[in-house]
Amino acid sequence: MTNHESNRISIPREIRNFFGNIGGRSLLVKGSAGTGKTTFALQLLEELADPEKSIYLSTRVSDEALFQQFPWLREKEMRGRIIDASRILLQKLYPEEDMDEEVERENMERLSSAREFLRSVSDEPLAPPTKVSKLHLNKLKDRPPGDFPEIERLYQSVENNLPEKSMLVIDSVEGISNRYSIESDELVTCIQKDLVEMSNADVLFVLEDTEARTVEFLVDGVVRFSHGVREGRRIRELHLEKLRATQIYQPSYLITLKDGRFTSFDPFSLSAIEEPKTWEIIPDTPTHYSTGTETLDKLLVGGYSPGSYNVIEVDENVSGDEYYSVIRPILLNFLSQDKGVFAVLSGGDHAESFRADMTRFIPAAKFDNSVRIADYFIPRSNQPYVMALGTRNKDEALRVWKSNQEALRGPENRPIIDYTGFDTLEYLQGGGVAIKQLLDAVAKIKISKDIGIGVLKPGLKLTQEIMNMADTYLKISSIDRCPCLYGIKPKTMIFGIVNDVELGPPHIRLVPIV
């Protein structure tokens, strides 16, 4: 991932690859009302199809409502043209000449059989046809009501744009089938056979009935939209249930419909930054320390207050890279403004790897001068940033602790971040002692200009006491491999964590899940 890329995307790569395959493809989009089907369908047309060569057929949303929500529809005049691709080999089997309807139907049946046979014995793409197939449409027209103007318009649009590939959306299948008193599977079969398989069009079917299994067997791909609640907060997801001839890397994606746009989230990654840049400071204000993330500052109404203790709980499904996406900017922004960090790292984190990570974005000398990391297992260290506290003499350990704090503050009495991994504290001190030590530390922070940052992992005895004394309490959880953050104090919605495209990683942004 480069400095200008984000894990926030629009259409998942599997769906892009699916429609990028040779030949026509059909995708069934299903989900209950309000899950984002229409927003997804329109954005797919915008991003994967030429507006001059596609059509959106809606039976339940007025044109004016669509124009208000999606202004690009009006600007690009998405009014009915669909592109189709046809095949030269079948053209030889089907000469262009006038013939009566019965002869035409017989020829189309023969050509359909020939086409299916050729596809079964060869991996090579067939030559495009020069005329849209109406074999199954004509069979429908033999029944009442006999005329299907919307469907016939789709067919004509495909034919008008030969030999280009078409993309069309039918929103919804039930809206059309109910209007003409036909079954949904009959409508889907008709368009699948005539337009997708015989005329090389890409078709997206929007379906309201989430249990219509017979329709699912007819199409090439199925995606399902859902929304639910996690700890009283809304989440939205897209599930890839079937994509024929396409590898599915991730079966479900977290999505948002913010600003009427469909957005999905790829897994978060920071490890592959090609050219790390010096951290770009987000300035503190007279009343708050910035978290290093503008959207998080807004969430906390300015950032962290001097004298506050701030807890970040990390769910068990969250990786170190994911929760450090939030922690890293806090520490980098503090250090870059010549303030100090006094740290007890969480279990599994090491002083050397922590330094290697941070010095990608700040000078090594600044880190060595402004960071002190407690190590309770070694009696001495040659590294200026490591406090060796592995001595049996408690008075000596306390002296080392205090002298390092004084060194960080300097003659200016600079503020510091007291950064604590609570799992390490509980492991070293035991539950009761750790709670007393923590309360003492919080009391001292409250009367200073310092701030406390504590990382809370699952299964600790300290959890309730920490929640009670925290000024702010955030939680990080992973949903569909996307790290998400939400506030318990203050209570907020869920936000997806993404790399900041403008500032570049390790800057992040929070995207609301709405």
Give the SS3 label for residue 233.
strand
Positive or negative, the CA dihedral 79, 85, 90, 94 is: positive
The runs of H, that is alpha helices, within 142-238 are 149-160, 173-179, 184-191, 213-216
**pLDDT at residue 201 is higher than 90:** yes
How many helices (H) does the chain have, and how many strands (E)? 19, 19
Positive or negative, the CA dihedral 429, 435, 436, 441 is positive
In the sheet with 495-499, reading across from the earlier edge strand, the strands are 386-388, 371-375, 340-344, 416-421, 451-456, 309-314, 472-479, 482-489, 495-499, 508-512
On the question of a cis peptide bond just before residue 276, with omega within 30 degrees of 0, the verdict is no
Q: Are strands 451-456 and 371-375 parallel, antiparallel or unpaired?
A: unpaired
Give percent above pLDDT 70 in the chain: 83
Which has more confidence, 324 or 143?
Answer: 324
Rounded CA-CA distance 162/166 in Å is 9
- pLDDT for residue 426: 78
Instruction: Decide: 472 and 304 in contact? Cβ < 8 Å.
Output: yes
Which candidate, 395, 388, 459, 473, places its Cα nearest to that of 427? 459
In angstroms, rounded to a whole number, what is the distance separating the alpha carbons of residues 345 and 310?
Answer: 16
| Interacting residues of 70 by C-beta distance below 8 A, sequence separation 6+ | 42, 46, 260
- Give the bridge partners for 489, in sequence order: 473
| Alpha-helical segments (H) within 255-293 | none
Output 186 or 395, whichever has higher pLDDT. 186
Measured from the Cβ of residue 483, the count of other Cβ atoms closer than 10 Å reads: 29
Which of these CATH numbers, 2.70.70.10, 3.90.105.10, 3.40.50.300, 3.30.9.100, describes 11-264?
3.40.50.300
Token duo for residue 242: 């079937």
- What pLDDT, on the 0 to 100 scale, is given for residue 2? 41
Please state the rounded mean pLDDT for residues 256-274: 83
The residues facing 234 across adjacent strands are 229
Q: From the CB of residue 47, how many other CB atoms can be counted at a distance below 10 Å?
A: 11
Whether pLDDT at 423 is above 80: yes
> Residue 166 corresponds to which tokens in the numbers above?
């078409």
**Residues paired with 475 in a beta bridge:** 313, 486
Pairwise CA distance, residues 38 & 87, whole Å = 32
Q: Among 217-231, 248-262, 267-281, 304-318, where is mean pLDDT lowest?
A: 267-281
The residue type found at 140 is L
Start-to-end C-alpha separation, the chain:
26
What is the C-alpha separation between 386 and 404, in angstroms, rounded? Answer: 10
Sorted by where each begins, the domain ranges of the chain are 11-264, 294-512
Lowest mean pLDDT among 47-51, 356-360, 394-398: 394-398
Least confident span in 38-42, 278-282, 307-311: 38-42
Best CA proximity match to 83, nearest among 162, 193, 169: 162
Q: Furthest-apart CA pair in the chain: how many Å?
A: 104
| Cis check: omega of the bond before 128, within 30 degrees of 0 | no
pLDDT at 99: 42
pLDDT on residue 46: 85
* Crossing angle (nearest 10°) for helices 37-48 and 13-20: 50
Tell me the per-residue pLDDT of 68-124, one tens digit each, with 9 for 90 and over.
665 555 554 443 322 222 222 233 333 444 445 555 556 555 555 555 555 554 555
From the number of C-beta atoms within 10 Å of its C-beta (0-12, 13-18, 19+), residue 266 rates as buried
pLDDT at 129: 67
Q: For domain 294-512, which architecture applies?
A: 3-Layer(aba) Sandwich (3.40)
H or E element: which one contains 416?
strand 416-421
Q: What is the pLDDT of residues 133-153, one digit of tens each?
A: 999 999 988 887 778 888 998
What pLDDT, on the 0 to 100 scale, is given for residue 91? Answer: 34
With 90 as the cut, is the pLDDT of residue 60 above it? no
Cis bond leading into 506, ω under 30°?
A: yes
From residue 24, give the alpha-carbon distance in Å to each of 108, 194, 220, 314, 473: 18, 11, 9, 45, 51
Confidence of residue 436 (pLDDT cuts 50, 70, 90): confident
Burial zone of 215 (CB within 10 Å; 0-12 exposed, 13-18 middle, 19+ buried): buried
CA-wise closest residue to 221 among 250, 237, 241: 241
pLDDT score at 96: 40
| Same-fold call for 11-264 versus 294-512 | yes
Amino acid identity, position 114: A
Q: Indicate the pairing of strand 263-265 with strand 252-256.
A: antiparallel
The structure tokens listed for 356 are 């290697």
For 202, the enclosing helix (H) or strand (E) is strand 202-207
Q: Tokens standing for 185?
A: 């599977």
Report the distance separating Cα 44 and Cα 262, nearest Å: 9
Q: Which segments of 225-272 does DSSP mark as H helices, in order?
A: none
Instruction: Name the pLDDT band for 15 (thresholds 50, 70, 90).
Output: very high
Structure-model confidence comparison of residues 6 and 490, the more confident one: 490
Q: Which residues does 272 contact at the CB level (< 8 Å), separation at least 6?
A: 1
Backbone angles phi, psi at 84, to 5 degrees: -130, 155
For 432, the 3-state DSSP assignment is helix
pLDDT value of residue 256:
96
- The pLDDT of 418-434, averaged and rounded, is 78
